[in-house]
Each structure stands twice: as structure tokens, then as C-alpha cells.
Structure 1
Amino acid sequence: MIIEVNPKKLDMRMKQPIGYVFGIKPDSYLYLRAFPLCGILIEDCCQRKDGLHMEKPQMELWYTERQTPNHGITTKINKTLHHEVTDFQSLDVIETEQFGNMLVLDGMVMTTDIDEFVYHEMITHIAMNTHPNPKNVLVVGGGDGGVIREILKHPSVEKAVLAEIDGGVIEASKKYFPEIATGLFGDARVDIQVADGIKHIAENKNKYDVIMVDSTEPVGPAVGLFEKGFYEGIREALKEDGIMVAQTESPWFNRDLIRRVFADLSATFLITRLYTASIPTYPSGLWSFTIGSKKYDPLDVDVRELPLLNTKYYRPEIHKTVFELPQFVRELTVKEEK
């Protein structure tokens, strides 16, 4: 096997020189595309001297997301279905053996066919079932459409606005994740805006009953979605009894971030609660969400009155139990003594 290394360096997102691009020589098999910030994607490719593809040899292909400097998750892949570099990030859709199609942004797994329902149900229904009558709902990020799909299961909803900064994510999701993106195909209640969520929040006051921050990890265009000023803007964009919820990363790998976000939301909202869910393709498999509420406490909900939704993970009986945290996670919500 022969590979040719191009010394030209390229970062797929920032377009700055930090990684290597590999190509293939005639009669060789292998194509590597490197994401040095987050992980490595290996794509199979064959080349003959006449430029035609030759029959692929038997070779296993694996994708690795490096989740910390010392830990990663690896899954077997069949092929890359889509690759592009948008104005904001690198975007890949890969077909995997274990999890079906997988959406990868800047080398980080965002969602998969198999386990997507956990994340989308848990970021949505806790807040939606805590508010007694959510009519106007905003999703910041969430271009895959999964949160919109779950929101539309609530009959009280009159308008669901999606503010996604990267239109490429929306289009890729429609094509490769149609079961996730069902709410993005013409429902009259849905307003899709390819727009900066931070700017949208700043331009709207006293408008929404529920706001959901379905962001990527706090890098690139998502950094501002984890800052106190953004949460203060959300408070102003919510109605007087509004609720917000945000994904807040892994209690194993992002403890400082969770502690900071919880403190910022506690300083911004009357009620703040942290809860978790198990998502196998996310770093550590344990994921957190944080609610900020102006009036309603999710722990005051009468679960006997909650509707039975068409869900796979969320059900009324766990509405409160998800707030029963392991001690090491609960400690992240306790104000530190100075």
C-alpha cells in the first residue's frame, strides 16, 4: 500500500494550516482525511493507473472521535455518505455498522439514527411538560430537526421557530436523516430560519414560552451559546412564565463547564435544575441538561396528569426521577463556599 503525503497543511474549519492532507498514488488503496482538532475520519478509496476505481480489498474502516486528550470513541463504518466544508464547520455523514447514519460536525458526533431519540426527547419533553400551555417555542441550533419533531408532539404548540446558523446541517439532515427531520418538511407551525441564534434572541423580547438551546460542543460558532450574557438574553426573550433548557455536556468530562453554566443560570432564573440521560455515542455516555425557569418547577409537576406521548425514552414516570443525581453530579449544582 502506498500513500502520498501532501505537505500542504489544512484545517477543515478555520482554513488555517494545522493538519495534513493525504492522497493516493496509482494502484494504491487508502484515503485519509484528518481532523486534528477532534478526531480522524478514514475514508476508503481505490485508484488504478488509468484513473478508474478498482475492486476494493477487504479492509475494515473505523471512525474515532477523540473526546478528550486521553479518551475517544471508535465505531466501524461502511462508507462516507457526504462531506462538505460549510461557512462554519466541516460536515460529514457516515454510514456505521452499529448506529446507522451518523452526523459529524468538526470531527464530533452530533447524532445517529439509533440513539438520537434519547437526546431529542430529553431536551424537549421535560421543559414542555413543565410549562402548562407552551404555544410559542424557539429552538436555537438543532438543525437536524429532532427537537422540532418532538415539540410538534404537543398539541398546544402554535409556532415552533428553528434558528440554525448553518443551513448545511438542515439540508444534510433532510437528505440523510429523514426520520429525525420530519418536522422540517412543510409543517405550517414550523418557521425555519437560517440565522444566528444569539442575534435572534437579542432581537426578540417577551415572545416565547419555551426556548431550547440545542447546541454543539462549546467550540466554533457555539461558544457564545454557553455564556452568561446569552442566558440573560434568553430570559428577556421568554414570557413572564417562560422556561429554557440547554444541553450542558458530560458530567465526567465537562465538570467545570456544568458548574459554571449552572451558576450562571441560577443567577439569571428563579428556578434552576440539572438532569441527565444516557446517550451511548456522546462523550462518557452520560449527558446533562440544565433548565432555567421564571416560574414553574419541573419537580412540582403532577406526573399523573402528563400526556402519554409517542416516545421511546421519556415517559411521565421519569419526569421527576431524572433529577435524582449521583452525588458527584449533584455536587456540580452546589454553590461553592468562598
Structure 2
Amino acid sequence: MATMKEIAELAGVSRGTVDRVLNRRGSVSPLTKKKILEIVEMLDYKPNKAGIALSVQKKSLTIGVILFGAGNAFFDDVIEGVESKLGDLSIYGIHLITRRIPFGLDEELGAIDQLLADGINGLVLSPYNDDSIRAKIDRLWDEGIPVVTTNTDIPESRRIAYVGSDFYSCGQTAAALFHRFAPRPLKLAIVTGSDRILCHKDRIRGFLDYCRDLKPSIEIAEVIEAHDDDYESYEAVTQLLARYPDLDGLYYTASGMYGGCRGLMHARKMQSSPDDSDLCIRNKKGNPFLVIGFDSVPSTREMLQKGLITATITQQPQLQGSLSVSILQDYLVSGKLPDREIYHTELSVKLRENL
């Protein structure tokens, strides 16, 4: 097996120069770098993992994680994925610091600054979609701190990768489900989280683009924000149904479906089983009221099982957490950039029948 010493001798440089090229540290002339990499490829050099682990342990590296919503159960699953990597991280002496924050620019900027004060070497971030966050990510890269975005993205920033669903495809999938469940003219309302979160915006964009040429048509009565909050969602849905008594369904782009379903239960007449395990809410025409959204947190599964939610689209939250951390680990340990910038997690549709 080739060694770093042998590569240095063949290239006529020091081991330190080889180390800088392989670990992308410091400045090396393009010609020397090209020569070293050609020798590495020729010898099929593989770094010694035990040596790398020992070297990284001496550095005492820390990965920070900032996710939205202390009360958002979806991000509980993302954290579960993050923590599933603790064993791998401990081999290299890498530590984790996690923060859960409400939606808000100041909250996110403050959380990033706090983690910087704690001495993080890399960051997993669900970004607020604002130029200040984009500029912050760029500055972190300049300071040698890589960022991986997860669940939602901030394009044209210098983050090294995004891990999460294809938002636009999410929206199109939801529109297709409404059309297939009820191939008739529909009047829907959209309940979203925040206009400043890219995944929420693009789930609406994909939905509207798909609906544009549908026949029979889907009409959007209103788009409202509920900030992933069940109480806010409850109030919003109650008011929506008062304004639009002829509403046929709700499209949720984010959390809050449980609160919305509770609002439906109080605002509309229901047919229910004696034990309240089977609920059916109907629109003014007597057809089932449709509710479609995202994720499979416990409260969503409960409402899906009872028949209040028609379908939910899942997006592998545990993988979003674990893969984001793995990408940062690889970069911090060996200087290896990810193979691509975007890693889309798979979408799947959950119904009452396949829950």
C-alpha cells in the first residue's frame, strides 16, 4: 500500500506539501498539485483511517446543528438522524452542538453567532431565506467553516451541499393527489409555514404550476401563513371556513395539520364512529373534505388513521439529518468535498391504508 512518504519522494516535494494537497489545506502551486494528484491516482493511494482519526481527535472538532421549531415534531426526526451518527463522530473525536430556533432572521443569525462563539468547525443549517443568511454562509466558508443546508435550501450561497426533498416536485405531487382523489372542480386553501422559507415557497410554486392546466380546474381561494404552529393553524382554518363555506380542501406545505384538523372538526359537521376512531368531514356538496400535506409525525398519523387527513407525503427526515452530518464529517476529516451539491431525499405517499 502506498504511503504519503512515497508520494512525496516521487513528486520531489515534502510530506507537508502532499498533506496540504490531499487535505486541501494551504497554498500549493497548480503544477505541483497536478503532479501529486497524478501520482496519488497512479498508486491508488488510500489514507490510513486510524491515522486520520488520531489526527482529527487532536484537533477536537465540533459540528453545530441549527434547525427550526422547538415544537415541530418533524425536526425531532431530523435530530434522530443527526444523533444516529454520534458513534461515527466519536471515533474522530467530533462533537455535536444542536440548536432549535423559531422562524426569524434575527433568531437564526443569533444562533449562528452563538455557535461560532462555541468554536464550531462546521454547520448543518435549515436556512431562513434571506440575503443576510446567504452572506453569513459565504463568510463562514471564507473562514474555513463549511455549511450543509438541510430540509430547506438557500441557493447561490457557498454551502457545500443541500440535503432534503425536491420542493417543487413536492408541490406537484400534492396537486396530482388532489386531482386523482377528486377529479372535479375544487376550491382549496393553502396553509403554509413562512414565505421566507424556500421549501414552503417552492411547494406552493410547484403546486400552482401543476394546477394551471388541470381540467377540471383547482381554484386557490387563499394562501395563509401559520408558521408551523398548531394553535395558529387552528385559528386560521376556523376563519378560512367562515370566509369560504364552499371550500373543498386544504393543502398544507408545512407543519400545523393537526391544529388545522381540529379546526375542521369544530367548524364542520362530522359523521363519526362511537369511539371517535373514524371521522368524516364533508364539504357543502356532501363530498369528503380533502386535506393533503407533508410528513408522518405522530399527530399526522393519528389524523390520517381517523380519516381527517387524506394523504401525506414523506421525505426521509432521518436521512436528512444523518447524511448532512456525514458530508460534514467527510470534509472535516479528509477535506473531501461531496460528490454533488444537491442530495434529494425520496418522496413517498402515506394513506390510511398503508400507514
TM-score, length-scaled by structure 1: 0.38
- Structure number having the greater helix percentage: 2
Q: Using CA pairs below 8 Å that are at least 6 residues apart, which structure has the higher relative contact order?
A: 2
TM-score, length-scaled by structure 2: 0.37
- Structure number having the greater strand percentage: 1
